[in-house]
Amino acid sequence: MYPEGGICHVYLLHPPGGVVGGDQLFFNSRTEKGAHSLLTTPGATRFYRSGGKVASLRQTFVVDKDAIMEWLPLENIAFPGTRLDIDTDIHIQSGGCFFGWDIWSVGRPANGDVFEKGLIKGTSRIYIDERLVLSERMRIGEGLAVGQAAGMRDFPITATAYIVCDEGEKLCSQWQEIFESQKDHEDFDNVVMGATYIDGLTVVRGLANDVESMFRVLTRVWQLTRGHWKGETPGVPRIWLV
């Protein structure tokens, strides 16, 4: 679909509506030179309780020179008892731009379902001109990370956004100023945010008590980034409003 003219919107659908133990999902996306793609999902992705089998998700994103890719899925919901391995590779060529996020609801806080059982393991690698600039791991569950100071600090929502583009350091400074100046805004009442820049990569991280607050804050970060790239602030993808 092309609701914005020259920007291709792609909606990733998973007909079963959720992922169970033993499922294996593979997702590969490439945006070629001169193209601009926005990839999203029509709803949250649910990872259900497992009887012991591990589900796996393997995803690869490739951004060619002078291309733009935006990866904006709605939140992932990990039900208590989820067992999941995630492997993500992002390859960006010089002159290409990438904005992508992952938002996780660990357990179902609105229903009082705490993630006391289960295990989520994730590995993310980002390459710029095939040079590895980031390799990090996530491990949540079985007594790890949920309540620790180096983990989720008892917040049920965690999110990370990765941004590669020109003037990334300048954008990172702007976001840091916004996070500080608006920390008393109602959207930040239940959210803790931070941003860092190194080796051409900006990483925005957040913790929250509810998905909606986190989603609003990250959407604003994305809109500011698109405004920097294109000179105008976009509206949200239509599919989010359905």
Quote the pLDDT of residue 213.
Answer: 92
The DSSP symbol for 222 reads: H
Least-confidence region, from 55-59, 141-145, 204-208: 141-145
In this predicted structure, the answer to whether residue 146 has a pLDDT above a threshold of 70 is: no
Amino acid at 47: F
Percent of the chain with pLDDT over 90: 68
Residue in 222, 233, 241 with CA at minimum distance from that of residue 38 = 222
In this predicted structure, the answer to whether residue 206 has a pLDDT above a threshold of 80 is: yes
pLDDT average, residue stretch 11-28: 90
In this predicted structure, the answer to whether residue 143 has a pLDDT above a threshold of 80 is: no
Quote the pLDDT of residue 234.
Answer: 94
Beta strands in the chain (DSSP E): 8-11, 24-31, 36-40, 45-47, 55-63, 68-72, 76-78, 83-92, 97-106, 119-128, 131-141, 157-164, 191-198, 201-208
In this predicted structure, the answer to whether residue 148 has a pLDDT above a threshold of 70 is: no
Quote the pLDDT of residue 226.
Answer: 94
* Mean pLDDT of all residues belonging to the chain: 90
The three state secondary structure string of 126-179 is EEECCEEEEEEEEEEECCECCCCCCCCCCCCEEEEEEEECCCHHHHHHHHHHHH
In this predicted structure, the answer to whether residue 224 has a pLDDT above a threshold of 60 is: yes
The DSSP symbol for 50 reads: -
In this predicted structure, the answer to whether residue 17 has a pLDDT above a threshold of 80 is: no
Could you read off the pLDDT of 157-187 as tens digits, one per residue?
Answer: 999 999 999 888 988 998 898 888 877 777 7
Tokens 């100071």, residue located: 149
Quote the pLDDT of residue 151.
Answer: 58
Quote the pLDDT of residue 93.
Answer: 97
DSSP H/E element including 217 = helix 211-230
Written as six digits, the tokens of 23 are: 């499922």
Amino acid at 212: E
Could you read off the pLDDT of 109-135 as tens digits, one per residue?
Answer: 777 777 888 999 999 999 999 999 999
Which of the four pLDDT bands, split at 50, 70 and 90, describes residue 145?
low
pLDDT average, residue stretch 139-162: 75
In this predicted structure, the answer to whether residue 149 has a pLDDT above a threshold of 60 is: no
Which of the four pLDDT bands, split at 50, 70 and 90, describes residue 189?
confident
Could you read off the pLDDT of 84-110 as tens digits, one per residue?
Answer: 999 999 999 999 999 999 999 998 877
